[in-house]
Amino acid sequence: MAQPGSREGADARELEIVEFYIDEADAEGNAYRGYYGINVAKVLEIIRRPPVTEMPSAPHSSILGAFNQRNRVIPLVDLAQWLGKNPPATEAEKVIVTEFNRVINAFLVSGVNRIHRLSWENIEPPSQQVQTLSGNTLTGVVKQEGRVIFLLDFEKIIGDLNPDLFFKEEQATMAAAAAMAADDVEPAGTFKALVVDDSTAIRRLIGSMLEKAGFAVTRTFNGKEGWEILTRLRDQASREGRPLHDLLNIVVTDIEMPVMDGHTLTRRIKADPVLKDLPVVLFSSLITDSLRHLGVAAGADEQVSKPDLPGLASLARNLVRKYRG
């Protein structure tokens, strides 16, 4: 399957997922098949299992080794092993090659079923119980054709396997403090930000970083909740005869979120006669050269890839000033 990540012809309000499965056996030896999904936008290709070369001092036993694909050396992760499962080896095994956060990785799975095109509204957030029992490895749940498909948090998987690939909290904190120290015209709390992200850890990290850069921060977990907060603030400003920027100055939102995604939220903001002057920053692992046009079409003012988190605070302060004139 070549280039399944192409979005040509797809509605940006929709999500395409690759459904794959992992076979395993329960304690009694009964066969069981678990169904999982990944955003097509993160998938470069799907291939047969290649021969791999074992890597010295791999940080986790689920890293089987690396293989050469089109002159790129790509690490292969046994997804079943990472999830704590022990599937039988079969000829149907497939490898899903991914790219996000500017990093290419590959994941071994038992097999691949098909691609589903869904509305973001069809993606349910995992309940707290399900998320806890899954070790916080899920980003969403899809009920499709009589079965449940779990959308895995591949960023968390790679981040756990190799933390050095992603941003460090201390780096972001230092960058935020530097932005504030170099530009301390407004008192802390003068600027107000809304952070929208379904990841508790990312939401907390962005919020903490912006607070250290002088922002008062409101946090929420998906676009629908974010939109409800925005409309309440808009109506409050109208009732009190105040400019909107007295209540809010900027929105920082993820793209991949259940119920309402960041592109849809951005379009709604920019279509509203009052909210349209709010700067919107898309902050996501899906900010790539091939997908950036989706954010531009939605009306985003800036798009920031997650490895660029340390520069977000300074960017946000500059955007607020630009819009306030």
Over the chain, what HEC string results?
CECCCCCCCCCCCEEEEEEEEEEEECCCCCEEEEEEEEEHHHEEEEEECCCCECCCCCCCCCEEEEEEECCEEEEEEEHHHHCCCCCCCCCCCEEEEEEECCEEEEEEECEEEEEEEEEHHHCECCCHHHHHHCCCCEEEEEEECCEEEEEECHHHHHHHHCHHHCCCHHHHHHHHHHHHHHCCCCCCCCEEEEEECCCHHHHHHHHHHHHHCCEEEEEECCHHHHHHHHHHHHHHHHHHCCCHHHCCCEEEECCCCCCCCHHHHHHHHHHCCCHHHCCEEEEECCCCCCCHHHHHHHCCCEEEEHHHHHHHHHHHHHHHHHHHC
Exposed e or buried b per residue across 209-226, where buried means at least 16 C-beta atoms within 10 angstroms of its C-beta? bbbbbbbebbbbbbbbbb
**pLDDT of 41:** 93
- Residues forming a β-bridge with 220: 196
Count of CB atoms situated within 10 Å of the CB of 113? 15
Q: 288 or 152: which carries more pLDDT confidence?
A: 152
Indicate where the chain has its CATH 3.40.50.2300 domain(s). 167-324
Residue 82 has which token pair?
């990472």
Which CATH class for the 167-324 domain?
alpha beta
pLDDT digits (tens, 9 = 90+) for 28-43: 778 889 999 999 999 9
Residue 127 has which token pair?
């309940």
* CA–CA separation, 195 and 317 (whole Å): 14
pLDDT digits (tens, 9 = 90+) for 114-132: 999 999 999 999 988 998 8
pLDDT digits (tens, 9 = 90+) for 158-206: 888 887 665 555 666 666 666 666 665 566 678 999 999 988 878 988 9
Exposed e or buried b per residue across 29-41, where buried means at least 16 C-beta atoms within 10 angstroms of its C-beta? eeeeebbbbbbbb
Nearest by Cα to 126 from 294, 243, 259: 259
- Cβ neighbors of 10 (< 8 A, separation 6 or more) are 16, 117
Round the average pLDDT of the chain to a whole number and report it.
88
Indicate where the chain has its CATH 2.40.50.180 domain(s). 14-163
pLDDT digits (tens, 9 = 90+) for 60-107: 899 999 999 999 999 999 999 999 888 877 778 999 999 998 899 999
| Phi, psi (degrees; rounded to nearest 5) at 254 | -70, 170
**pLDDT of 123:** 94
- Averaged pLDDT, 233-254: 97
pLDDT score of 10 more than 50: no
**pLDDT of 1:** 44
- Averaged pLDDT, 15-35: 88
Domain 14-163 has CATH 2.40.50.180: yes
C-alpha torsion 163→167→171→173, nearest 10: -110
* CA–CA separation, 155 and 229 (whole Å): 27
